[in-house]
Amino acid sequence: MELPLVTVVIPARNEEKTIGNCLKSILEADYPKEKMEVIVAVDGCTDKTEEIVRSFKNVNVVAGEPKTSKAAALNSAWPSAKGEIVAIFDSDCIVTKDCIREAVKHFSNPDINAVSGPSLSYNERGSLMSKALSLETTFISYYEYFLNKHGADIITAGNNMFFRKSILKEVGGFDEEVIVEDLAISIAIKRKSPKKQCSIFEPKSVVYHEEPPNFNSFIRQRRRWTRGAVQAHNKYEKSASMKSFLSDAMHGTYFYFPPFTFIITALTALFLYLSLPLLYLSPLYMLFIFVSALFIQSLRFFKQSLTNIAYFPIWFFLSNLQALLIPLSILEELMGKQSIWYRPDRAGLSTPLPTI
């Protein structure tokens, strides 16, 4: 297979702590330099981000006023892409050597319009919060891989996604009305190919990213995620068939594994108090065991220590807190409150990357 021209697009707003390492990893990737174009959408930066980006040769800069969303920043850059494949990475990502090559190989199949890969944590050895959230990140990646292997289309990870430029044109680019652009673009592309698998999860196409380093940053990130999920539901799911809705909804279940454990525990206590047969809860127990097995396998698959499970109680707390943000997001949508494109605080890469 002749390798296609790939255009890498990176949105960046005040990312001076991470953009240098990100670009360095991309330019050192195992992909022919003459087959790769890099564009950075410098989005209203007030720090040294643009200066750092312009210090790299053969990196194109699209600069402008601050956009209202990441989708808007991406839409300012990808239409000028020369490549037939457009790759999207976040500016805090470290792209592994084989990431681009492993993803691009799937586009030899004309039915495939999108590819995504694992997004693992490079600061998993940092704060207790980042250690806990790395469990979630690992689980998300494996869960998408598992579903895809069994015939489901994927929800592309917003910091590691590849598209045919032609499909981006066909769906009108990234939806600027939904502040979780990866979910929106995944649903839009899937709707164009409802009868066949049109996206692939490639487990060897790995990037490492930074988890929110503190609680305030986590809350801002998850408010954006939950608000964006409500927006995507209102725009894409209200007119969808029940099959399409359930197919899309199952991708979000990995966020609610900890809340599910809370429900199981509460129901078990209630049934014991009321002297009801626990047999009635057996389907829920079976589902819990199945998802737990997937969770453990995700750590094994990505060669992470099973001792990391010790941080599950922290993830349990954070995930249940995220679930409580959903009613708030629904209320904000009903009230027409303006949504804001939040991004987590950055600390930058300070520890060696793990190996998988």
pLDDT score recorded for residue 61: 94
pLDDT in tens, 20-47: 999 999 999 999 999 999 999 988 788 8
Is pLDDT at 354 greater than 50 in this prediction?
Answer: no
Average pLDDT of the residues in 208-230? 91
* Largest separation between any pair of C-alpha atoms in the chain: 71
- Alpha-carbon span 137 to 222, nearest angstrom: 13
φ, ψ at 231 (rounded to 5°)? -60, -45
Q: Which of 10-19, 79-88, 209-218 has the highest mean pLDDT?
A: 79-88
User: Between the CA of residue 293 and those of 289, 296, 297, 300, 319, what are the distances in Å?
Assistant: 6, 5, 6, 11, 19
**pLDDT for res 326:** 93
- In angstroms, the CA 319 to CA 313 distance is 10
Question: What are the structural domains of the chain?
Answer: 1-356 (3.90.550.10)
Cβ proximity of 156 and 117 under 8 Å:
no
Predicted confidence at residue 349, as pLDDT, reads 61
Max avg pLDDT among 96-110, 182-196, 205-219: 96-110
* pLDDT tens, residue by residue, 240-253: 777 777 777 788 88
CA distance 250 to 175: 22
CB atoms within 10 A of CB 73: 28
pLDDT at 35: 97
Digit-coded pLDDT (tens) for 286-319: 999 999 999 999 999 999 999 999 999 999 999 9
- pLDDT tens-digit series, residues 228-283: 999 998 998 877 777 777 777 788 888 889 999 999 999 999 999 999 999 999 99
- Structural element, H or E, at residue 162: strand 160-164
**pLDDT given at position 1:** 65
